[in-house]
Structure 1
Amino acid sequence: MSTDATLNATYEEVMDCAAFIKANYAGEMPKVALVLGSGLNQMADELTDAVRFPYHGLPNFPTPTVEGHSGVLHLGKLGGTPVAFLQGRVHGYEGQSEQKLAFATRVMWAIGIETLILTNAAGSLNPEAGPGNLMLITDHINNMGLNPLVGPNDDRFGPRFKDMTYCWDPKHNDTLRACAKGLDINLFEGVYVGMRGPNFETPAEIKMWQTLGGGAVGMSTIPEALAGHHCGLRICGISTMTNYGAGIMPEELNHEEVMEFGAIAAVNLAKLLTAFINKVG
């Protein structure tokens, strides 16, 4: 397939999926979308007037294979505000292509989303921010070896060279800080470090990222942020601290711990994001 044909195929697949969603949803199309990370699925239960689209039923949409990522798009209202919830995501370690990692984000852009909220389960690099706490993402370090903008650029999605200074929207971050303060929620802040996984990081890697200013480490989020910022979406994000990075504590890490502490933190996260969405939606 030629370069032009490849670009057109990717764009047309995104637009076909967006058209399907619009044709099968009678409600007001939202301006805000939220990606739910590991352990956060229960937030979807907060929606009213919800219509659910399993990923496997959406044209060209990639389907997660990881436990805790059910793979359902929810369109409905949260506190009266129209919103889209992406319940689950695909990861680079599942073997998905870089274009597939960007697909859901681009579909959100194509249906008219303006603000994309990214949540994730992450390992804390900050000894003061233990499991169950929340971290506002102020910036990121991409160590995944993945970037959905690599390859021929399609100007219909965004420019060839995108400045990243304000990828994590400063005004949205200010609003999240204000919402957390009003709700008396302790919101840490820091830089999110993306690793490809699926193995957890070594103690030596954790020490390196701490030295370089990382606040949390995980295996997602950055491809979505890159694709969304490229499309012109306003990006913000919250990491749920589900464990300490390897070597900070003597215990070994496991996926069950990620799910358990993700569920604990989801209570405060739901309150925070509901307040935020009602302000910006």
Structure 2
Amino acid sequence: MWNKVQETVNYIKAKTGFTPQYGVILGSGLGGFADDITIEHSLPYSELPNFPVSTVEGHAGKLIFGKIGDKNVVAMQGRFHYYEGYSMQEVTFPVRVMKYLGVEKLIVSNASGGVNSFYHVGDIVILYDHINLMPEHPLRGHNDERFGPRFLNMSEPYSHALIAKAKEIAVEQGIDVKDGIYLALQGPTFETLSEYRMVKILGADCVGMSTVPEVIVARHMDMECFGVSVITDMGDSDGVGSVSHDEVLQAAALAEPKVRTLIKELIATGE
């Protein structure tokens, strides 16, 4: 893994000469954030050694390099999912590459199903914790100490400082945000009504099929993380019957301008 990461990093550095400070992973329907970046380089995943290729509609499959304000940013326009058949090491490989390109702060977005009765479709949820119920763990197997410790402390998966800053920005920009706990399941099926009830009983506010592996690996390498979910369906008897991937994309697209503003300002005003 170490050698593959370094090979990919060296290829990207040779192509771009770019050192990003922030990494952004764009979820379903949120790929338009690339329009907020003053783009300097764009590399298709298919060109990158050792990189998987995204297979999901709504995920473009490019690494975007550029600036937001005076900050250097690399954005994944399309992420990888365990349900696509990739190993957890493949799903999280880009996060390791980001780290060795120079990224210290990782921002992750996703579309998720809401189980908190105070949520509505289109709500923006700032994540402060998560529950990992995926059947595989990205740190299982041999641990290379060059990446991080064998036993990782996960008491602060999402940076308290970044959360506080994002909430300040939300108030300044007039953006209504909720906060919550995200639960990760394998997918690719949407949850049954009983599974949504289980998610709620376990203490989560929303559920999805991504984000947690990337955050675990980012924290393994001591990167600060910020996570945001867009509620694209509600896990109740009314919402479960109609949910489809097209509807998820539509709901995410409606919330996208506000999410983009939040992320853009978080980066532009950050350290």
TM-score range, shorter chain: over 0.9
Find the counterpart in structure 1 of residue 152 from structure 2. 162
Find the counterpart in structure 1 of residue 269 from structure 2. 279
Tell me the secondary structure at the aligned position of residue 107 of structure 1: helix
State the shift of 1:250 in Å: 5.8
Report the AA paired with residue 91 of structure 1: H
Counterpart among 112, 123, 140 of residue 113 in structure 2:
123
Find the counterpart in structure 2 of residue 142 from structure 1. 132
Find the counterpart in structure 2 of residue 23 from structure 1. 14
Q: Is the 8 A contact 1:169 1:235 kept in 2?
A: yes
User: 1 CA distance for matches of 2:242 and 2:236?
Assistant: 7
User: 2 CA distance for matches of 1:80 and 1:35?
Assistant: 19
Counterpart among 160, 163, 186 of residue 173 in structure 1:
163
Residue 99 of structure 1 pairs with residue 99 of structure 2 = no
User: 2 CA distance for matches of 1:211 and 1:114?
Assistant: 34
Find the counterpart in structure 2 of residue 11 from structure 1. 2
User: 2 CA distance for matches of 1:171 and 1:270?
Assistant: 19
Relative distance call for 1:225 and 1:248 in structure 2 (3 A) is farther
State the shift of 1:19 in Å: 0.8
Counterpart among 67, 72, 78 of residue 82 in structure 1:
72
Q: Is the 8 A contact 1:127 1:248 kept in 2?
A: no
User: 1 CA distance for matches of 2:202 and 2:87?
Assistant: 28
Q: Is the 8 A contact 2:125 2:229 kept in 1?
A: yes
State the shift of 1:36 in Å: 0.4
Matched pairs, number: 271
User: 2 CA distance for matches of 1:178 and 1:268?
Assistant: 14
Tell me the secondary structure at the aligned position of residue 140 of structure 1: strand
Residue 72 of structure 1 pairs with residue 62 of structure 2 = yes
User: 1 CA distance for matches of 2:166 and 2:38?
Assistant: 23
User: 2 CA distance for matches of 1:25 and 1:250?
Assistant: 45
**Matched ranges for 1:261-272 at <5 A:** 261-272=251-262
Q: Is the 8 A contact 1:75 1:85 kept in 2?
A: yes
1:54-93 residue CA offsets vs partner (Å, 9 max, x unmatched): 0110110111111111110000012342111111111010
Q: Which runs of 5+ in 2 are unaligned?
A: none
User: 2 CA distance for matches of 1:186 and 1:111?
Assistant: 34
Find the counterpart in structure 2 of residue 63 from structure 1. 53
1:208-251 residue CA offsets vs partner (Å, 9 max, x unmatched): 21122211100000110010000110011000111112535363
1:115-150 residue CA offsets vs partner (Å, 9 max, x unmatched): 000100111112322111100011000011121100
User: 1 CA distance for matches of 2:226 and 2:37?
Assistant: 20
User: 1 CA distance for matches of 2:158 and 2:238?
Assistant: 28
User: 2 CA distance for matches of 1:141 and 1:91?
Assistant: 17
Report the AA paired with residue 223 of structure 1: P
Q: TM-score, normalised by structure 2?
A: 0.97
Report the AA paired with residue 200 of structure 1: F
1:4-36 residue CA offsets vs partner (Å, 9 max, x unmatched): xxxxxx111011101111111144x12101100
Q: TM-score, normalised by structure 1?
A: 0.93
State the shift of 1:98 in Å: 1.4
Task: Determine what percentage of the aligned residue pairs are the same residue.
Answer: 38
1:88-127 residue CA offsets vs partner (Å, 9 max, x unmatched): 1110101101110110000000101000001001111123
Cα-Cα RMSD: 1.2
Q: Which runs of 5+ in 1 are unaligned?
A: 1-9
Report the AA paired with residue 9 of structure 2: A
User: 1 CA distance for matches of 2:49 and 2:187?
Assistant: 28
Find the counterpart in structure 2 of residue 238 from structure 1. 228
State the shift of 1:45 in Å: 1.5
Q: Is the 8 A contact 1:118 1:235 kept in 2?
A: yes
Relative distance call for 1:186 and 1:55 in structure 2 (3 A) is same
